[in-house]
Amino acid sequence: MKVKLSVRVYRRFLLGLVVTCVVAAIPGLLSVLFLYRAGELTTYRDIAERQQETGEIYGSAVNGSNDLYKLELIRVRRPDVVVLGSSRVQQIREEFFNSNFVNAGASFRDMDSGERFVEEMYRIHTPKLVVIGVDFWWFNPLYQDETLAQGRDAGGLTRDKILLPLEWFVTGELPIGAFARTIFGSGGDNEYTNQGNLGMRALQSSAGFRPDGSFQYAQRFFGLVTGIDPKFAETLARITGGDLIFEEGAQINRSRWERFRATVEFILAQGSEVILYTPPLAPPVLAAMSDGSRQYAYIEELQRELSALGVPYYDFLSPNQTTSQVCEYTDGIHPGDVASQRIVLEIAQRTVLGEYLNEELVREKLDEYEGHAHIVFDHSLFPVQELDFLKLGCAK
Amino acid sequence: MLRRLGGADLRLVWILAASLFFYGWWNPWNLFLLVGSIGFNYGAGLVLAGRVPAISARLGQPVLLTIGVVANLALLGFFKYANFFVDSVGTIFGASIPFGEVVLPLAISFFTLQQIAFLIDVYRGRVANYSFLHYGVFVSFFPQLIAGPIVHHHEVIPQFSKGERGVPLSNISIGLTIFAVGLFKKVILADTASTFATPVFDAALAGADPTLVEAWGGMLAYTLQIYFDFSGYSDMAIGLARMFGIRLPLNFNAPYQSASIIEFWGRWHITLSRFLREYLYIPLGGNRNGNLRRYGNLMAVMLIGGLWHGAGVTFVIWGGLHGLYLIVNHTWRNVAGALGRRRRNPVPSRALALHPALARAITFLAVAFAWVAFRAEDLGSAGAIYRGLFGFNGISLPSQADFLEPLTRLVPIAFDGLGAFGSVGGERKGVIVIAILLVVVAFAPPTHRWLARTRPVLGRISDPSRIQWRPSLRWAIVTGLIASIAVYGMFSGVDEFIYFQF
């Protein structure tokens, strides 16, 4: 009799334990459900495919590997023209091109990541033309390449992602309304645009990658995130503060240069044409770098080497080369849509890029959006006006 | 269920298979090592016990025991110390000796000690006839295989045959509770402490000189980390074993509440202390040949204990420090005893005894001081932290502490923050976390005392906690919450158990 009672007691204890664990697991399950409903658990391939059908913006807050995502876009879109480079080339848009195009910006962040991406891209597809935006700091002797050994996030559900929505919820980054709307509602929309959205960042403000891989800084343009680089103050502080990308240097890092040259030769050997350019900096930033207080002799050496490489090269770093206005930048180092399209037009007029570009549309939009950072193609998608987000007094 | 279907042996076969699978998960090749070691020692035990008269009569028991122990030590020595030995010889002779990197197989230090003890006990005639299955499970039993507790054959093997009487649900309930507490200790407490300890030791390794508070923060954080890490693991092992109806010996008994180093070694890694005492200290002569010999034995045992943890000068220093502490502690006792016993003007023992709180604090600080050498990866970084502890690297405080600025007239103090301490988790959080955890280790009863009524470990628990765990709904909720918090904590990553490397 005593034993039977004991069994009952322990059975009740275990039941209580299980029920407690199940109840405690509910926030975790909701968190996973949120990630699922927000599209954060979708694989890169599925995202790339889905974007082509729906035109959604993909802005993840948990998946960190732009490279793998861009490779999937290349696999899906089989582009004639690919733009490579860092985040500074990401405003070149497919709407201006007559043929298939992928903006693989943010995949060539330095020589380590660039070499790897090019090699992986040619395993998937051979584009006809590759345009590379070259950042000068890749060749700064003090600049550190990223550690590739750290591995890449292949997307999907991993242990460290599961609780992120709960963390956002606790820190106030994710309002309860948005949390509930994403889980239980139709999801996908926000007050800034009428675009479809995939991923937490995109759901918030439609900030993220368009179906061509180009990036949309909607969180800044339309006011969700304010106070980033006002009057380029943050970028200017990076110059004087010795930020790694603005380190001084007398000579380029030879071994990285040789690797870059080998990468260009590899692309040519695959049968693609190559165009190189150095993306611009906002005019005040360029002026601060050129005021003589800091020594950037290595950039001039880089420009000479690029000119002598035997492929078309266009330098938009020199002050007299850029015709962009300060209001056309996203911040001190990222040219906006208009500034980027000015570059594309200039290159197209003198190279094979012209064969792929709808120059008439580019000119039309440049006229229409002069002094803006963001170009709109479909007004029904953007009910909100671009703001003077850099606090420069720009009329938008 | 297997026991019901096919008896105790089938259950043991399943446990053995599960244990080998568990061990092989890390590196299947190491299974050959474990199984080979089990086979060799079981065979050696049979020969030592006279079950193979042809061999035992020819060689004699002392020779057989020597062969068995030396073979075990040689295996351990090769895997654990070959790299260290080759590097040291190379350094001494200034030459690079071509020698591949020997990777330490998981758990080798633990299963080797258990089997050496087994062979010695067979030699002493203290071992009953065990089947190979029982012996195999005794060595490989997965809950305690990787990092202990180091069990005696006579503690667990009899339990295999008898099985656990009573209701299996009780074992599952008790085991789950102990396991949950252990998981919580590891994931929430140890890994949190680690976020404040690791940056300081890493910075010192990279050449930084930790300032006073930074060094103290790093030292205290590691002192807490290693306790919660290892005692958490031991709880998990005890809990898991209990779910299979096996009681393991106690391995931790609130060691940071010790009032002396002698007491500390009776409460910290109890099963290792027991092994060192029974199979090293006492055979060396123990305290039988005068104080000088006793101190020599103590130092030898602690140095070997240090080397057992790892091949490195820092482990030797750690062992040496504890040897020194023990010598000082025994000398103090002897002097106090002599003063109390003298005929003229005997000193009352109370007058010589330190206040318990002071004794605990001194013991804790001595232990923490030694952990610096244990944790540091080389002498240079250990030296940098030790210098920091004494203020030789200067004093820097967080800018929020600028109200202490008047003190700068007496001592140079910078207000540049705490350096690496808190660089990951935040300085303020670091100070708060360490303060809370210090209170926990100083006053909270350990797991087994909360569960004293359930006899969670082998042996009697003399000092049960006033609040006792019961299989009630309230405790189910508490246990469930502890387990859930620990599981949530695992999602942000878990450090490897410290004792896995030994």
Residue from B259, B307, B304 nearest B277 by CA = B304
Residue from A20, A23, A26, A62 to probe the interface with B (highest B Cβ count within 10 Å): A20
Would you tell me the crossing angle of helices A66-77 and A111-124 to the nearest 10 degrees?
Answer: 30
B35 in the same domain as B121: yes
Would you say residue B208 has pLDDT above 90? no
**Residues of B with Cβ-Cβ distance to A17 under 8 angstroms:** 173, 176, 476-477, 479-480, 483
Q: Which residue has the tokens 């020589």?
A: A111
By Cβ distance, the residue of B166, B169, B493 closest to A160 is: B493
pLDDT in tens, A258-284: 999 999 999 999 999 999 999 999 989
Q: Is A158 on the interface with B (CB under 8 A)?
A: no
Residues of B contacting chain A (CB within 8 angstroms): 166-167, 169-170, 172-173, 176, 471-473, 475-477, 479-481, 483-485, 488, 490-493
| Residue A131 phi, psi (nearest 5) | -105, 125
Q: Is residue B117 part of a domain?
A: yes
Q: Is B167 within 8 Å of A6 when comparing Cβ atoms?
A: yes
B483 in the same domain as B374: yes
Distance CA A193, CA A5 (A): 64
Cβ atoms of A356 and A82 within 8 Å: the answer is no
Q: Which two tokens stand for residue B34?
A: 């474990």
Q: Is B488 within 8 Å of A163 when comparing Cβ atoms?
A: yes
Higher pLDDT pick, B428 / B300: B300
Cβ atoms of B346 and B339 within 8 Å: the answer is yes
Q: Is A12 on the interface with B (CB under 8 A)?
A: yes
Determine the pLDDT at residue B301. Answer: 94
Determine the pLDDT at residue A322. Answer: 53
- Of the residues B141, B166, B191, which one is the last residue of a structural domain? B166
Would you say residue B212 has pLDDT above 50? yes
Determine the pLDDT at residue A188. Answer: 62
B209 in the same domain as B175: yes
B63 in the same domain as B49: yes
Q: Is residue B347 part of a domain?
A: no
pLDDT in tens, A104-137: 999 999 998 999 999 999 999 999 999 999 999 9
Cβ atoms of A314 and A328 within 8 Å: the answer is no
Burial A34-60 (b: 16+ CB within 10 A, else e): bbebbbbbbebbebbbbbeeeebbbbb
| Residue B38 phi, psi (nearest 5) | -60, -45
Cβ atoms of B282 and B270 within 8 Å: the answer is no
Would you say residue A44 has pLDDT above 80? yes
Nearest-Cα residue of chain B relative to residue A161: B491
Distance CA A189, CA A205 (A): 8
Strand partners, A313: A276
By Cβ distance, the residue of A11, A16, A163 closest to B492 is: A163
Q: Is A14 within 8 Å of B479 when comparing Cβ atoms?
A: no
Would you say residue B404 has pLDDT above 90? no
By Cβ distance, the residue of A3, A12, A24 closest to B473 is: A12
pLDDT average, residue stretch B484-488:
92
Q: Is B471 within 8 Å of A17 when comparing Cβ atoms?
A: no
Report ipTM (2 d.p.).
Answer: 0.81
- Of the residues B120, B138, B166, which one is the last residue of a structural domain? B166
Would you say residue A320 has pLDDT above 60? no
Average pLDDT for chain A: 88
B91 in the same domain as B8: yes
Determine the pLDDT at residue A395. Answer: 80
DSSP tag of B150: -
pTM of the model: 0.75
pLDDT average, residue stretch B293-310:
92
Quick check: helix, strand or coil at residue B258?
coil
Residue from A236, A250, A243 nearest A139 by CA = A250
Cβ atoms of B139 and B114 within 8 Å: the answer is yes
> What's the Cα-to-Cα distance from B403 to each of A335, B406, B415, B416, rounded to whole Å?
47, 7, 10, 14
pLDDT average, residue stretch B384-406:
87
Residue from B122, B145, B130 nearest B30 by CA = B145
Strand partners, A104: A84
Determine the pLDDT at residue A2. Answer: 45
Determine the pLDDT at residue B42. Answer: 93
CB proximity list for B415: less than 8 A, separation 6 or greater: B396, B397, B398, B399, B401, B402, B405
Q: Is B476 within 8 Å of A15 when comparing Cβ atoms?
A: yes
What is the domain extent for residue B39? 2-166
B95 in the same domain as B199: no
Would you say residue B496 has pLDDT above 70? no
Asked if residue B149 has a cis previous peptide bond (ω within 30° of 0), the answer is yes
Strand partners, A335: A329
Q: Is A16 within 8 Å of B172 when comparing Cβ atoms?
A: no
**Residues of B with Cβ-Cβ distance to A26 under 8 angstroms:** none
Q: Which residue has the tokens 């279907």?
A: B5
Instruction: Please report which confidence band the pLDDT of residue A1 belongs to, taking 50, 70 and 90 as the band edges.
Output: very low
By Cβ distance, the residue of B170, B476, B483 closest to A16 is: B476
Q: Tell me, what amino acid is at B3?
A: R
Cβ atoms of A209 and A215 within 8 Å: the answer is yes
B67 in the same domain as B82: yes
Q: Is A15 on the interface with B (CB under 8 A)?
A: yes
Q: Is A160 within 8 Å of B491 when comparing Cβ atoms?
A: yes
Which of B152, B269, B309, B322 does the annotation list as catalytic? B309
HSE value, Cβ hemisphere, 13 Å, CA-based, for A277: 27
Q: Is B476 within 8 Å of A24 when comparing Cβ atoms?
A: no
Give burial (CB, 10 Å; 0-12/13-18/19+) of A173: middle
Would you say residue A245 has pLDDT above 60? yes
By Cβ distance, the residue of A9, A11, A25 closest to B484 is: A25
CB proximity list for B190: less than 8 A, separation 6 or greater: B224, B225, B226, B227, B228, B229, B232, B495
B148 in the same domain as B127: yes
Alpha helices in B191-289 (DSSP H): 191-205, 212-243, 261-265, 270-276
Cβ atoms of B134 and B157 within 8 Å: the answer is yes
Q: Is residue B304 part of a domain?
A: no
B396 in the same domain as B251: yes
Region for residue A21 given its phi and psi (left: phi exceeds 0; alpha: psi -120 to 50; beta: otherwise):
alpha
Which range, of A232-241, A266-275, A295-304, averages the lowest pLDDT? A232-241
Q: Which residue has the tokens 């890493």?
A: B202
Residue percentage of chain A with pLDDT more than 70: 94
Q: Is B167 within 8 Å of A14 when comparing Cβ atoms?
A: no
Would you say residue B103 has pLDDT above 90? no
B43 in the same domain as B158: yes
Q: Is A287 on the interface with B (CB under 8 A)?
A: no
Region for residue B366 given its phi and psi (left: phi exceeds 0; alpha: psi -120 to 50; beta: otherwise):
alpha
Residue from B173, B474, B490 to probe the interface with A (highest A Cβ count within 10 Å): B173
By Cβ distance, the residue of B173, B476, B480 closest to A24 is: B480
Determine the pLDDT at residue B296. Answer: 93
User: Which helix (H) or strand (E) covers residue A57, if one does?
Assistant: strand A57-58
Give burial (CB, 10 Å; 0-12/13-18/19+) of B122: buried
Q: Is residue B371 part of a domain?
A: yes
Q: Which two tokens stand for residue B494?
A: 């878990």
| Residue B203 phi, psi (nearest 5) | -65, -40
Q: Is A13 on the interface with B (CB under 8 A)?
A: yes
Nearest-Cα residue of chain A relative to residue B476: A17
By Cβ distance, the residue of B480, B485, B492 closest to A17 is: B480
Distance CA B415, CA B400 (A): 8
Distance CA A224, CA B64 (A): 79
Burial B50-76 (b: 16+ CB within 10 A, else e): eeeeeebeeeebeebbeebbebbeebb
Residue from B165, B170, B174, B177 to probe the interface with A (highest A Cβ count within 10 Å): B170
Q: Is residue B282 part of a domain?
A: no
Cβ atoms of B429 and B422 within 8 Å: the answer is yes
Determine the pLDDT at residue A323. Answer: 58
B96 in the same domain as B41: yes
Average pLDDT for chain B: 87
- Of the residues B149, B166, B183, which one is the last residue of a structural domain? B166
Distance CA B476, CA B494 (A): 25
Q: Is residue B267 part of a domain?
A: no
CB proximity list for B450: less than 8 A, separation 6 or greater: B181, B465, B467, B468, B469
By Cβ distance, the residue of A13, A19, A21 closest to B173 is: A13
Would you tell me the crossing angle of helices B30-48 and B2-26 to the nearest 10 degrees?
Answer: 120
Nearest-Cα residue of chain B relative to residue A15: B476
DSSP letter for each residue of B386-446 = HHHHTTTT-EE--GGGGGGGGGGGTS-EE-S--TTTTTTT-HHHHHHHHHHHHHHHHHPPP
Q: Is A7 on the interface with B (CB under 8 A)?
A: yes
Instruction: Please report which confidence band the pLDDT of residue A186 belongs to, taking 50, 70 and 90 as the band edges.
Output: low
> What's the Cα-to-Cα distance from B71 to each of B14, B66, B100, B107, B278, rounded to whole Å?
29, 8, 22, 17, 20
Determine the pLDDT at residue B8. Answer: 61
Q: Is A170 on the interface with B (CB under 8 A)?
A: no
Looking at the structure of chain B, the number of domains it has is 2
Highest mean pLDDT among A301-310, B301-310, B489-498: A301-310
> What's the Cα-to-Cα distance from B410 to each of A298, B391, B404, B417, rounded to whole Å?
50, 14, 11, 19
Alpha helices in B105-152 (DSSP H): 108-123, 132-140, 142-145
B119 in the same domain as B244: no
Q: Is residue B333 part of a domain?
A: no
Active site residue B309: yes
Calculate the CA B164 to chain-centre distance: 27
Higher pLDDT pick, B385 / A221: B385
Cα of A148 to nearest chain B Cα, Å: 21
Residue from B183, B451, B478, B479 to probe the interface with A (highest A Cβ count within 10 Å): B479
Would you say residue A150 has pLDDT above 60? no
Instruction: Please report which confidence band the pLDDT of residue B502 belongs to, taking 50, 70 and 90 as the band edges.
Output: low
Q: Is A157 on the interface with B (CB under 8 A)?
A: no
Q: Tell me, what amino acid is at A103?
A: N
pLDDT in tens, B146-181: 877 889 888 888 888 775 554 589 999 999 999 999
Q: Is residue B318 part of a domain?
A: no
Cα of A1 to nearest chain B Cα, Å: 13
pLDDT in tens, B237-291: 999 999 988 899 999 999 999 999 999 999 999 999 999 999 889 988 888 888 8
Nearest 10 degrees: Cα torsion A17, A19, A21, A23: -150
Calculate the CA B178 to chain-centre distance: 18
**Residues of B with Cβ-Cβ distance to A25 under 8 angstroms:** 484
Instruction: Please report which confidence band the pLDDT of residue A3 belongs to, taking 50, 70 and 90 as the band edges.
Output: very low
Q: Which two tokens stand for residue A208?
A: 């993220």
Distance CA B136, CA B130 (A): 10
pLDDT average, residue stretch B175-198:
94
Length of chain A, please?
A: 396
